[in-house]
């Protein structure tokens, strides 16, 4: 940059660090960090990038040494790093310390990382406790967290509890999104309950939620193969949405599947 008479700043160094992080060049990041004082004092963005880098490379001790005035984003990045490296115990301790030691409130993203990690190792009970803890802390739990919990319940053979979770979502003002609906559709397909799977698709169309068309095409194909015919009015709306999306290849597959099952005319 100096050859073009451009003054390097901490902001430009942050951009370089961010690019190196994306490339996984952790050693190069340390090299850049060693000379950052020439351009100014590292800011919160610098620390968050470095913590993300140390976390991804598994150097959690180095990440901890960076703490001076950590923010919720800083802690969230480190907690997420612990979770991705299956260090759930350490992640939970970090969540505890951020509030009790540093006085920083966990964010919804911190809870999302912890709940996802717990669900991956079968810690559903603690995952649900964290969800309640988030509400107690006046943190609005989002659809991503609920989707993770619903998926884990289905995988654990506890599908009967899903309706209660969906009801709670609506009571809390958290509407299911495309991911939530996809989780439900997958769950019903695994249980061979194709009628319920299509009912979820039907609800998506009714509520104006953009469906995952590839997912929907698979469900429809399974239904037609097993002799279940979807409602024509809802089917027409779905096909119209598919046309509007421009996904003509998927549209062709859907029409082919429906034609074989006599749900639509071959010339439709």
**What is the Cα–Cα distance from 2 to 72, expressed in whole angstroms?**
35
What per-residue confidence (pLDDT) applies to 40?
75
Would you give the DSSP letter of residue 161?
G
Q: How many CA atoms lie within 13 A of 38 on its CB side?
A: 10
Yes or no: say if 78 and 51 are a contact pair by the CB < 8 Å rule.
yes
Break the chain into its structural domains and give their ranges: 179-268
**What is the Cα–Cα distance from 66 to 144, expressed in whole angstroms?**
30
> The pTM is what?
0.70
Phi, psi of 266 (to 5 degrees): -60, -25
**Radius of gyration (C-alpha) of the chain in whole angstroms:** 24
Yes or no: say if 51 and 21 are a contact pair by the CB < 8 Å rule.
no
Yes or no: say if 121 and 91 are a contact pair by the CB < 8 Å rule.
no
What per-residue confidence (pLDDT) applies to 64?
60
Where in 19-126 does DSSP place strands (E)? none
Give me the average pLDDT of each 10-residue run along the chain (268 residues).
Answer: 59 87 83 77 74 71 61 80 87 91 91 97 97 95 97 92 94 93 85 78 79 70 68 72 75 74 46
């Amino acid at each position: 940059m100096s050859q073009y008479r451009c003054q390097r700043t901490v902001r430009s160094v942050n951009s370089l660090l961010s690019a190196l992080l994306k490339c996984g060049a952790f050693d190069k990041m340390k090299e850049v960090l060693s000379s950052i004082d020439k351009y100014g004092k590292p800011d919160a963005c610098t620390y968050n990038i470095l913590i993300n880098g140390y976390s991804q490379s598994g150097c959690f001790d180095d990440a901890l040494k960076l703490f001076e005035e950590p923010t919720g984003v800083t802690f969230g990045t480190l907690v997420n790093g612990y979770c991705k490296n299956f260090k759930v115990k350490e992640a939970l301790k970090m969540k505890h310390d951020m509030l009790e030691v540093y006085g920083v409130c966990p964010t919804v993203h911190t809870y999302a990382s912890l709940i996802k990690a717990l669900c991956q190792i079968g810690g559903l009970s603690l995952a649900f406790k964290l969800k309640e803890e988030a509400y107690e802390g006046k943190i609005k739990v989002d659809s991503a967290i609920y989707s993770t919990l619903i998926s884990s319940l289905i995988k654990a053979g506890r599908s009967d509890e899903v309706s209660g979770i969906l009801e709670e979502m609506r009571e809390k003002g958290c509407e299911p999104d495309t991911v939530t609906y996809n989780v439900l559709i997958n769950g019903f397909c695994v249980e061979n309950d194709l009628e319920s799977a299509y009912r979820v698709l039907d609800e998506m169309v009714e509520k104006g939620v953009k469906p995952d068309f590839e997912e929907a095409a698979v469900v429809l194909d399974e239904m037609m193969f097993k002799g279940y015919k979807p409602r024509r009015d809802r089917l027409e709306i779905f096909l119209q949405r598919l046309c509007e999306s421009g996904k003509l290849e998927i549209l062709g597959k859907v029409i082919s599947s429906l034609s074989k099952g006599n749900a639509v005319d071959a010339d439709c």
